[in-house]
Amino acid sequence: EAAAAGHLARVARRLEDPEPALHAAAALTLRGHAAPGATALAEGPFASGDAGARARAEAALQEMGPLGAAALADLLGSSEAGVRRRAGVALQGLGRDAGDALAHKLLDGDAGIRWRAAEALGNLCLGSCSAAHSDALAVCLEDESSWVRTAALRSLEKLGVGATDAHAAALKGRLADGNHLVRSCASRVLQQPGDAAAGSCGGRGPRRPALRP
């Protein structure tokens, strides 16, 4: 497996070559290797290549649908803030595939990854898929990290969840949270009428500054 990963990493580096024919051939090869190919694209040229290579890697990852989304979501655990930010932006172009990948990351053992995933879910235009991912975010209202709880509430607000939705009881429970920011966010969400199924593209709510733990 290590040898195969090394080979795919070398193929991925061809996206940095000035010859367009090599870019296309490399991207085609990596797409043919499914998840390992997506990982090579994400961890190689997307994370550390020049601007041109990053753009080509992003395009290839987006063409890979759920596999590309999963590879990009894995970058939320990167030690480099720039890589995490670029991954979050790239995921915005993958709709439901991104939503599914991010919902999976809400279960990660690292609170930082859960927080970033919860925040990123609120930035997606999920359309009719909003309700399903609202369920995943609602689970985070009981997270041990106040950063995760706050990010989940802010994303639920953007997705259009409110006082009349199925999660109203969980939201009301956060009004007694030990963290003042969580209480404030819960109060704001409960002021919305609520309709998560219609949410996300049009009903994003007011823009809030990103949290930085």
Q: How many CA atoms lie within 13 A of 101 on its CB side?
A: 28
Mean pLDDT of 124-135: 66
Grouping H, G, I as helix, E, B as strand and the rest as coil, residue 92 is: coil
Q: What pLDDT, in 10s, does the model give residues 155-202?
A: 998 888 776 677 888 999 999 999 999 999 999 999 987 665 444 433
Q: What pLDDT, in 10s, does the model give residues 29-79?
A: 998 999 999 999 999 999 987 889 999 999 999 999 999 999 999 999 999
- How much is the pLDDT for 202? 36
| 144 has pLDDT over 80 | yes
Mean pLDDT of 136-151: 94
The model's pTM is 0.82
Is residue 125 within 8 Å of residue 95, measured between CB atoms?
yes
DSSP codes of every residue in 180-213: HHHHHHHHHHHTS---GGG-SSS---S--PPP--
